[in-house]
Structure 1
Amino acid sequence: MTSILTNGGAISALQTLRSINSDMAETQGRVSSGLRVQTAADNAAYWSIATTMRSDNMALSAVSDSIGLGQAIADTAVAALDIVIESLDAMKWLFVSARSMEPIDITDFSYYGMTYFPEDGAEKRVDPKYAGSLLQKLDEDMLQHIMAINNAVDSASFNGVNLLAKPKDGVDLDDAFAATFVTGYAPGDIQTLRLKSRDFVLFNDNFANYGTIAEEDTNAGILDADINIMAQLPDGSTWWTSAPIDLFHSTFSDQPYDNVGINVIYDLEAVISMSGFTRDSAYEYFINEFEKKIQGVVSAQAKLGAVQHRLEMAGEFNSDLRNAYTSGIGRLVDADMSEESTRFKALETQQQLGIQALQIANSNSDNVVALFR
């Protein structure tokens, strides 16, 4: 049936063309955005999963930043410990050298220890019998290593975190943590790595605040405590001396200070003279105790090496996890550009054919007019 009021062919062609145009718009959106699921209306389930995974991926990105910060802090501390161990080894060599030298005839013990305690360190006068001796030259070299250790520890700070030095805050060493690093994230669970101060702190400014020797020893950092010598007397018996030998970090009136200006070897010789110890046994005990401090620092560096390795593994795992999340999101919502380009080309052809079909359908009315001529 031919009608001048209703053109069924044109209506059908127009409906087909509208459908093709709608498909083309959808395909164009996928091509321009690279996504086949852009909104919840496209696919509610996939959009919801992808949105959640993107949020988790952002959290993992923050974890990567935290791991990088932790690695920088650990690397800084390890670099400082390299200097500390190098200086400690040099100091041990100086003690061994001092043992083989002629002793000083010390009779005036007023030069032993510190003379006064300014805020920036310790000062002392020099015994005239000691001045210019070979032992004094060793002490001058010793002082440079002590200052190098102090400077290395003080400088081992990154972003305000120093694993090797604990400020005066009244917190017991066993209860304190040097740092806490975020190393991982699972939905609803942040994974952290906490470093105990006990394992890494060389100098603890709090150890001066305690009233008993036991409490001070408990809160002393690895290099804090002085050395009290137990050595042999000429009759073969052994005894403790109550005269401590300070090395790096000491206290006076409950205030910590760096031993700037200290003469360690002279003090060791003075303690030997005051106590009547045999020189060899005193040096042997002192060097053994000093070796314990070296091993304490070596242990701290070994633990830091383990921390570095753990952070490295955490960083690699976190990177792999982020890549897996990104790939998973892509599988859910990314458009297949090869498929979309082929589809777009086909829709272009269909659109052209649809326009031609509509033109043909619209020409039917001209045929009706021709019948009445």
Structure 2
Amino acid sequence: MSASINTNVAAMLAIQNLNRTQSELSVSQTRISTGQKVASAKDNGAIFAIAQNQRGSSQALNAVRESLQRSQSTVDVATAAGETISDLLNQMKEKALAAADTQLNTSSRNAMNADFVSLRDQITKAVNNSSFNGKNLINSGATNIEALADESGSSKITVQAQSLALGGANVTVAAAQDITTTANANTALAAVNTSIQNVSLALAKLGSGSRSLATHLNFVNKLQDAIDAGVGNIVDADLAKESAKIQALQTKQQLGFQALSIANQGPSSLLSLFR
């Protein structure tokens, strides 16, 4: 090989190798600092696009989870109120049955009627106070709950409203029902018995709805975890591997500097030819 002071081929090769090493070192350092092997589109456009789409799906499932949790809370509040109403009806049945006894005197009947009316009015209070986030599932004219079931928003889980207001389809006890007479007591007893059966069925429906929401919420949580894990599989860096690689590259970088230094000393050796 001819010797030239204008063109140092060895130095050019050393610089090329050193630049390549430094580029690889920069990539490994970025992966270690971000924890990702695909942190931007320039790293791998196809993988980045797939990961972004899946991240969007995962974030959309947050809204689904919130909708399911909100609906579940509404149903649970309605169920708690319904159980209270069922207990009140059982107590009203006792009062109505006792008032149906023809041997009661006026004073005793009036006392029982006062208790009956108090229990009756507590049903209205329970219904009116069973709202969650402005949604009441058991008041008169209540509408069904429709919780989001998937990220598209097209699928929903419906829980039917169950009106437990006085004088409604389930609680047939009238808002002015009393047991002031034997006849009224018998009428009230029949209405209370029907109401107890209807409320039990309504509670069963609410309970089924709550279980459906809880089951789907559990599925959505698992689905979101699986999506997040899948994204991690394609974009996360193997830090143990990158750590070992960066050690090797740092050694290679030092050797590259030494090789460049040696190559740069080549032209100075030409001076010995002129001595």
- Structure 1 stretches of 4+ moved >6 Å: none
2:225 counterpart of 1:323? yes
Distance 2:163 2:70 in 1: 19
Q: Does 1:222 align with 2:181?
A: no
Q: 1:133-144 residue pairs with structure 2 within 5 A?
A: 133-144=107-118
Alignment of 1:25-36 (within 5 A): 25-36=26-37
Gaps of 5+ in 1: 105-129, 168-175, 208-219, 227-246, 249-258, 273-281
Aligned pair 1:265/2:167, yes or no? no
Structure 2 equivalent of residue 162 of structure 1: 136
Letter in 2 for 1:135: R
Q: Give the aligned partner of residue 300 of structure 1.
A: 202
Aligned to 2:72: 71
Q: Is the 8 A contact 1:83 1:148 kept in 2?
A: no
Asked if residue 203 in structure 1 is aligned to residue 165 in structure 2, the reply is yes
1:337 to 239, 245, 254: 239
SS at match of 2:154: strand
Compare the two structures and name the one with the higher strand fraction.
1
Q: CA deviation at 1:288?
A: 3.7
Higher relative contact order structure (alpha carbons within 8 Å, sequence separation ≥ 6): 2
- Check whether the contact 1:177–1:194 (CA below 8 A) recurs between aligned residues: no
SS in 2 for 1:305: helix
* Aligned with 2:252 (options 316, 341, 350): 350
Q: Partners of 1:297 and 1:195 in 2: how far apart?
A: 16
Instruction: Provide the C-alpha distance between the structure 2 equivalents of 1:77 and 1:181, rounded to a whole number of angstroms.
Output: 16
Aligned partners of 1:189, 1:154: CA distance in 2, in Å?
Answer: 31
Distance 1:290 1:303 in 2: 20
Q: What are the superposed Cα offsets for residues 144-192 of structure 1, whole Å, 9 maximum, x if unpaired? A: 211221111100000010001135xxxxxxxx7332211x215x45321
User: For the Cα contact (< 8 Å) 1:53–1:329, is it kept in 2?
Assistant: yes
Q: What residue is the counterpart of 1:6 in the other structure?
A: 7
What residue is the counterpart of 1:210 in the other structure?
A: none
Distance in 1 of aligned mates of 2:144 and 2:120: 23
**In structure 2, what residue type is equivalent to 1:177?**
T
Give deviations 1:250-278, integer Å, cap 9, x for gaps: xxxxxxxxx4xx6x111x43x56xxxxxx
> TM-score under structure 2 normalisation?
0.93
TM-score, normalised on structure 1?
0.69
Deviations 1:191-219 (A, max 9, x none): 2122333xx11228xx9xxxxxxxxxxxx
Superposition deviation, residue 338 in structure 1 = 0.8
Whether 1:145 and 2:119 are equivalent positions in the alignment is yes
Report the 3-state secondary structure (helix = DSSP H, G, I; strand = E; otherwise coil) of the residue aligned with 1:80: helix
Aligned-residue sequence identity (percent) comes to 31
After superposition, the CA RMSD in angstroms is 2.0
Are the aligned partners of 1:40 and 1:47 in contact in 2 as well (CA < 8 Å)? yes
2:146 matches 1:180: yes
1:20 aligns with 2:21: yes
Q: Which amino acid aligns with 2:211?
A: H
The equivalent of 2:40 in structure 1 is: 39
Q: Distance in 1 between matches of 2:128 and 2:188?
A: 26
2:54 matched to which residue of 1?
Answer: 53
